[in-house]
């Protein structure tokens, strides 16, 4: 309404206004409108690129800004990500192109899942391997032809860091397998007296 009013006021005086001033006014207006519309145009172009480059698809599981979720919708200006706790993370399409995004759905046939845990230096690593690998083999989420593997990663001052690596079919299965296998491994190690650290107790007088 303000623009219409200004046009109505200015039209009778257009003939008296120098052409240079009119050109400068139009140029300044175009610059202001361009600056104001830049985010919209930028996100619209990014949405076009996302759609036709097929970098992401609806249903893809992604990690963005340390948030884990599933792409629910890709609109011309923004992308909606459904987070693991059912919140919605709204990301401008320009952000989807400029940020580092881990797409867990763009992968080989199987997905690698691992559990990181510690055992004390006096633990029998062979026994730890038999327990952890044996439990992983019994998991219904295990897929592929390669058996689970236990790796000794780092021998730290107070404990030994171990990785239990397994193959699963999807990100939800990876989460479920880590939870199920991890709980069983902890229980079995405790039952066998294998602890995460070797605690030193001073003698009691």
Give buried/exposed letters for 47-85 (b at 16+ CB in 10 A, else e): beebeeeeebeeebbbebeeebbbbeebeebbbbbbeee
Identify the weakest region by mean pLDDT among 17-21, 29-33, 91-95, 151-155.
17-21
| pLDDT recorded at residue 1 | 64
Q: Render pLDDT for 129-176 as a digit per residue (tens, 0 to 9).
A: 999 999 999 999 998 888 999 999 988 888 999 999 998 988 888 889
| pLDDT at residue 118 is higher than 90 | yes
Q: If pLDDT is split at 50, 70 and 90, which confidence band does 202 have?
A: very low
- As a whole number of angstroms, the distance between CA 181 and CA 202 comes to 35
| pLDDT recorded at residue 198 | 56
Kindly report each contact of residues 55-59 with a partner whose C-beta sits within 8 Å and lies 24 or more positions away, as own/partner: 55/96, 55/103, 56/96, 56/101, 56/103, 57/105, 59/105
Q: Render pLDDT for 35-59 as a digit per residue (tens, 0 to 9).
A: 666 677 777 787 777 777 777 888 8
* 116: enclosing H helix or E strand: strand 111-119
| DSSP percent split of the chain into helix, strand, coil, nearest 5 | 45, 25, 30
| pLDDT at residue 204 is higher than 50 | no
CA 21: distance to chain centroid? 52
| pLDDT recorded at residue 15 | 55
The residue behind tokens 């985010």 is 39
């Amino acid at each position: 309404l303000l623009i219409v009013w200004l046009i109505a006021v200015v039209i009778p005086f257009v003939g008296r206004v120098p052409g240079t001033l009119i050109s400068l006014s139009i140029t300044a207006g175009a610059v202001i409108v361009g600056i104001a519309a830049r985010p919209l145009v930028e996100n619209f172009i990014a949405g076009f690129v996302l759609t036709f480059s097929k970098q992401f698809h609806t249903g893809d599981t992604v990690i963005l800004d340390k948030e884990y979720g599933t792409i629910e919708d890709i609109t011309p200006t923004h992308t909606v990500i459904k987070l693991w706790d059912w919140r919605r993370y709204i990301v401008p399409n320009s952000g989807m192109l400029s940020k580092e995004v881990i797409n867990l759905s763009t992968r080989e046939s199987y997905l690698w899942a691992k559990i990181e845990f510690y055992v004390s230096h006096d633990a029998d690593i062979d026994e730890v391997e038999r327990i952890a690998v044996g439990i992983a083999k019994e998991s219904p989420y295990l897929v592929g032809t390669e058996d689970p593997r236990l790796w000794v990663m780092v021998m730290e001052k107070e404990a030994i860091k171990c990785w239990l690596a397994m193959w699963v079919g999807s990100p939800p299965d990876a989460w479920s397998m880590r939870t199920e296998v991890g709980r069983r491994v902890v229980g079995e190690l405790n039952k066998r007296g294998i602890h995460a650290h070797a605690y030193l107790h001073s003698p009691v007088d």
